Amino acid sequence: MRIATYLYRGRRHCGVVEGTLVRPLPDGTSPLDAAAGARPAGPAVPLADVRLLPPLEPPTVRDFVTFEEHVEGVRRSVDGAGGVPDAWYDAPTFYFTNPYAVIGPYDDVPVPPGSGLLDFELEVAAVIGRAGRDLTPEQARDHIVGYTILGDWSARDLQSREMRVGLGPCKGKDTAATLGPYLVTTDELEEFRDADGFLRLALTASVNGEVVGRDLLSNMSWTFEEMTAYASRGTWVRPGDVLGSGTCGNGGCLAELWGVRGEAFPPPLRPGDTVTLTVEGIGTVSNTVVPGADPVPLPTARRRTRERP
């Protein structure tokens, strides 16, 4: 099942996509309700007549980093270091990103205030459908309800500077994160699962119509079930939580290419650039960069006397 959230004639709906049509579900039906088997309750509408929204509004977004090739290239570009940190191999590391920054599959992306090095990142995200804690990977499979494309927008200059503090990324990843075009339920993608449990989906990234990256989702070093198990260790994953795969390799973002090539080519994204991300079995999202707000001036840190009461 392919589940869409959309605007039609000024009203928000959730519906099931069938070819070039979308069939609305009863008012109040959530995407997770739809995945659980809610049935359409109205006439079909052409997809061309609706505005697609993010398929869901996640309470949390965990963004992992599971592609070794991406880590190697971006580390060289952002940190100036070579290779992959030994600690990366120990566990599927993630950070929490901003759920309020989620945008739709065809929405514009504003340049983050103060950034001159905007980049995209091509990812796939798993969506949690059932709460769980301290799950095994085998148990975790039943807690994943579906998948969607995640386009992670990154201000590389802000990211590089703030991560020198030993925290982050934070503002470097705070402006936009694309989800869409649909929530595709797990049964739709089972035919792509290989013998090791990975989803062998073709991934393609284009800028202004020119392909800059191609990879396979099965090049991840951990499965989504293993990632979910790790995320649930000592805490809860809950319905609607989004778990991003991390950026694919071989041009899944510009920074990786900059690190490999030793130069900023293709150049950072500018207003007017359109990034199109396609994932086999899920669909395509396409976002255009537009000017953003100017940063509000703030002072640098004040050096204090460290007086004590």
pLDDT of residue 168: 80
- Total of domains in the chain: 2
* Residues 265 and 116 occupy one common structural domain: yes
96 and 245 both lie in a single domain: yes
- Say how far apart CA 124 and CA 147 lie, in whole Å: 7
- State how far the Cα of 224 lies from the Cα of 184, in Å rounded to an integer: 15
Query: Which pLDDT belongs to residue 257?
Result: 94
CA nearest 255: which of 154, 132, 176, 181? 154
What is the mean pLDDT of each successive set of 10 residues along the chain, which is 309 residues long? 97 96 95 91 94 98 97 81 90 96 98 97 98 98 98 95 87 96 98 98 98 98 98 98 97 94 94 98 98 97 93
Residues whose CB falls within 8 Å of the CB of residue 164, separated by 6 or more in sequence, listed in order: none
Place of tokens 């205030």: 113
CA neighbor of 106 nearest in space, from 16, 5, 1: 5
* 28 & 87 share domain: no
Question: What are the C-alpha distances in Å from 83 to residues 27, 80, 88, 293?
Answer: 51, 10, 11, 36
183, part of any domain: yes
- Co-location of 14 and 143 in the same domain: no
| CATH number reported for the structural domain that contains residue 25 in this entry | 2.30.30
Instruction: Report the CATH number that the domain containing residue 74 is assigned in CATH.
Output: 3.90.850.10
The answer to whether residue 295 is domain-embedded is no
pLDDT score of 163: 86
**Of 80, 81, 83, 64, residue with least CA distance to 72:** 83
Query: In Å, how far are 70, 113, 237 from 32, measured between CA atoms?
Result: 31, 34, 14
Q: How far is CA 155 from CA 30, 119, 120, 138, 226, in A?
A: 32, 6, 9, 36, 29
Residue 36 lies in a domain: yes
According to the model, what pLDDT value does residue 136 have? 98
- pTM for the model: 0.97
Helices (H) and strands (E) in the chain, counts: 6, 21
Same domain, 122 and 264: yes
Residue 301 is assigned to a structural domain of this protein: no
Residue 60 to residue 94: CA distance in whole angstroms: 12
**Domain range for 28:** 2-52
